[in-house]
Amino acid sequence: MPKALLLENIHPFAAQSLRNHGFEVETLKGALGEDELIDALDGVDLLGIRSKTSVTRKVIDARPGLSAVGCFCIGTNQVDLDYAGKHGLAVFNAPYSNTRSVVELVICDIICLMRRIPAHTHHMKQGVWDKSAAGSHEVRGKTLGIIGYGNIGSQLSVLAEALGMRVVFYDIEEKLAMGNAHRCDTLNELLEQSDAVSIHVDGRKTNTGFFGEEQFAHMKQDAIFINLSRGFVADIDALKRHLDSGHISGAAVDVFPVEPKSSGDRFSTPLADEDNMILTPHIGGSTLEAQEAIGHFVSQRLEDYWEKGSTMLSVNLPQITLSSLPGTARIAHLHANLPGVLAKVNRVLGEENINIAAQALGTEGELGYVVTDVAQMPGEAALEALRHIEGTIRMRVIS
């Protein structure tokens, strides 16, 4: 029986779905460190993680039998994707399933900060009745600057316009503006006119320290700042200085440079004593609706890969969409993208008089992936020959 390990409190739907497909499933609530993960992966075929567990080169080298990793979240920067692909480890994620949940939290943060709800709540808890409109504003008519206009940024754009906000955005790639949103040519152009700035860039390493002292200094007086993207993107110390000086009137932060691995662990941040501040524990996509959708989406990708060899929506392998083909055996051959591999696969099968019923090939970068449906199961000699074709990374028979 194949085995799956699901970490970090992934929605129960995923575990049940995998069990329904014949997997023995173990679930753990928290994340695991590198050595703990290596120990836990003994005999495991599929791994499910969220954002706190890292699949490093050491882990990949220690557990070559691991077939696929499902990231039950948007990001995949917790996995060494290139190294995983070159060692036959497929990686899948859920790039769209929690978009709405993140966007709704951003809208909530904008309204609360514009109305100074965190500050008023803090004063009330201290026994101070401060009924004042000073510093409180409607969001209607204000300008929202969105940095990163991908799935989340563009949907945020639509909802913000529905609230009566003017939307400007900045992205390093060409993006189609939604509604009446206006594209800015430079980041500073966006910062200088935005009453609220929300970051939605991805987790690539080059975005480390992307938003620092220089960017905060360019923001409008009394603007608000929101980061629900990655903890390493924004300089928290610089943010604190601009909050303390009164330049920035409020902020909401959901992601941090260093985060606890498990719920209930102690956490501290220099932003904790700020007045008009919303701090949330990386829950941008953590709604029941989103987690169920993610559980369904990623578990299905893992099941399709295991049962059919389908790499559709993999983030690190050539993508091939495959359906079931009853009455055949399927040979999935992942290899270095070298000339002649397909011909060598077919030559091996032809020498065994094995009829090919269907075949699909995909290449991407340094990798190639060919899936061959054959009328009968090849003998061990033919399988061994396929495994020893130059450039072979992983060969798997699916029947």
Say whether 326 sits in a helix, a strand or coil. coil
d(CA 331, CA 301): 18
Q: Which of 166, 282, 301, 330 is catalytic?
A: 282
Q: Which of 63, 116, 230, 301 is catalytic?
A: 230
In the residue annotation, 230 being an active-site residue is answered as yes
d(CA 300, CA 123): 48
Query: Which residue spans within the chain are E strands per DSSP?
Result: 3-6, 24-27, 46-49, 68-71, 90-92, 143-147, 166-170, 182-183, 196-199, 223-227, 248-253, 277-279, 329-336, 356-364, 367-374, 392-398
| 72 within 8 A of 50, measured Cβ to Cβ | yes
Find the angle CA(200)-CA(206)-CA(209) to the nearest 5 degrees: 70
> Bridge-partner residues for 69, per DSSP?
47, 91
d(CA 195, CA 218): 12
d(CA 158, CA 174): 18
For the chain, how big is the Rg over CA atoms in Å?
A: 25
d(CA 157, CA 194): 13
**CA dihedral angle for residue 222, residue 223, residue 228, residue 232, rounded to 10 degrees:** -80
Q: Which of 161, 259, 292, 364 is catalytic?
A: 259
| 181 within 8 A of 169, measured Cβ to Cβ | yes
Give the pairing type, strands 3-6 and 24-27.
parallel
In the residue annotation, 218 being an active-site residue is answered as no
> Bridge-partner residues for 27, per DSSP?
6
Catalytic residue numbers, as ranges: 230, 259, 282
